[in-house]
Chains A and B, each alone.
Chain A
Amino acid sequence: MQCEEIPQRHADYLAGTLSDTERAAFQRHVAGCAACQRETESLGGIWTTLEDIPAPEPDSRAMRARFDAALEREQASARPAGRSFHWNYAMAAGVAAAALIGGIFIGRGGSQDVTALRGEVRDLKHMVALSLMQQQSASERLKGVSWSNSLEGPGDEIVTALLDTLKHDDNVNVRLASIDALRRFAERTDVRRAAIDVLQTQRSPLVQMALIDFVVETQDRDAAGALRRISGDSESDQTVRARAAWGLEHLGVQS
């Protein structure tokens, strides 16, 4: 074993996950190399001393009681599993029916009724978009995000759902679609702040790149700190770092 190999093996050595052969080779090298021996001993000492940092025990009984209360609330308000799929189609049917009735009323010239029906159709469309964004299937969630683009006068609920998708959806394509959908809300401070926050925690290079483009489009100079950190982070993806540097340039701030 060579000195260059030691760092790669260290984590396994400390965790005790080297094979007997690898462990013997590691120890043989360390025994004959003063520099690696010092490194191994000091890092091993830190690894062991971590255990001396005390951590309190949880109050399991109180925590379980809180959990039970929260679960009870959730059960009371949740729909039974499997209903949501049918519910979606019921919503879609509702939208279609409302549109049809709306059409009849338009034909008859009942303007007040038409206005009311338009309002109902709009509400139903909102509910369908929100419902789709909560589905198990990524393609359904994608549809929900896309549908939100066609909504007239989307409210806070839609923006919150899109931000929630951007932050927590485990599918990269859905997260990317949510960034596109959020562009129409770019004038909102909370949306711009959230984009910067997510940019700093996001691990997908594709989503990071899309968010960098977003903050550059919105000319949000508050993103400069995040962009600087990414461009200077040796552990970040090379392309993302370059894009962050590009972003700083386009925001007109120093990198």
Chain B
Amino acid sequence: MQAVREGDFAQLGVLFDRHHREIFDFLVRTTGQRAVAEDLVQDVFERILKYRSTYRGDAGFRPWMYRIACNARADHYRRKVPTTAWADEFEPADESAGPERTLEEASDAQRLQRALNTLREEKRELLMLARFGEMKYEAIAEVFGVDTGTIKVRVHRALKELRDAFLKLDSRPPCNVKKFPSGTPTI
């Protein structure tokens, strides 16, 4: 990114190849729309070029890039659809897992999607970054401009809010949600 900042635009292609998938994944998970996510990835990299002079080498590139992605997404919905920053456009779960299991998982996933949709945008972004962003909480804290302790508490609160929203949509008890494995995932 330092090279891009200094005018070597060709290096932006390297950054694009390295990061466009994760940015797309984040945007498609927070918008629910493939086409919008693709447009926004484009927008993110154009903004990286446009605002390259604001990049400070001391902070990590990825938190800066995700902050740009959050701003691009927010701007998009302010311009286009001010009330609904989400659209269901997901496909069914993997059918190779067997019809009953597939139905149950698809059902839980669909309900969870709807529950996610009820959260405020910043909470949805935070949860997606914490779960799929492959960044430490310290880096996520940089994206949101708060300290690490605050981010951890916010993740906990957002997850509780998501759980409560999920249970409101679900008549079954919470034990039907997939069991949390003993080997914890890492971010």
A residues adjacent to B (C-beta < 8 A) = 7-8, 10-17, 40-56, 58-60, 62-64, 66-68, 70-71, 74-75, 78, 80-82, 134-136, 167-170, 197, 201, 203-204, 235
Most buried by B among A63, A68, A78, A134: A63
Question: Is B58's beta carbon under 8 Å from chain A?
Answer: no
| Contact call B137/A15, Cβ cutoff below 8 A | yes
B22 to chain A, nearest CB (A): 10
A42 touches B177 (CB 8 A): yes
User: What's the minimum C-beta distance from B36 to chain A, rounded to whole angstroms?
Assistant: 12
A46–B166 touching, CB < 8 Å: yes
Contact between B137 and A11 (Cβ–Cβ < 8 Å)? yes
* CB neighbours of B46 from chain A (8 A): 70, 74
Check if B118 is an interface residue, CB within 8 A of chain A.
Answer: no
Asked if residues B152 and A67 are in contact (CB atoms below 8 Å), the reply is no
| Chain A residues in 8 Å Cβ range of B62 | none
How many interface residues does B have (CB within 8 Å)? Answer: 75
Q: Are A55 and B152 in contact (CB under 8 A)?
A: no
- Measured between beta carbons, the chain B residues less than 8 angstroms from A52 are 93, 105-106, 108-109, 112, 178
Q: Identify 8 residue pairs between A and B in the complex whose beta-carbon atoms are under 8 Å apart, listed by A's number.
A: A8-B149, A41-B174, A41-B175, A43-B156, A46-B166, A48-B179, A50-B112, A55-B29
Top 8 nearest A-B pairs (CB, nearest first) are: A81-B7, A44-B180, A45-B177, A16-B184, A136-B53, A11-B152, A52-B109, A58-B24
Contact flags B144-187 to A (C-beta < 8 A → 1, else 0): 11100101111110011011001000000011011111001111
- Name B's interface SS: helix
Q: Are B163 and A46 interface neighbours, CB within 8 A?
A: yes
Closest A residue to B9 by CB, please name it.
A75
Whether the Cβ atoms of B109 and A49 lie closer than 8 Å is yes
Give the residues in chain A near B160, CB-CB below 8 Å: 43
- Determine the residue in chain A with the shortest Cβ distance to B34: A56
Interchain CA distance A28-B174 in the complex, whole Å? 22
Q: How far does the Cβ of A217 sit from chain B's closest Cβ, in whole Å?
A: 23
Q: A52-B93, A70-B42 are in contact. List 11 more A-B contacts (CB 8 A).
A: A10-B155, A10-B159, A14-B155, A50-B132, A51-B131, A52-B105, A53-B90, A55-B90, A56-B28, A58-B38, A63-B38
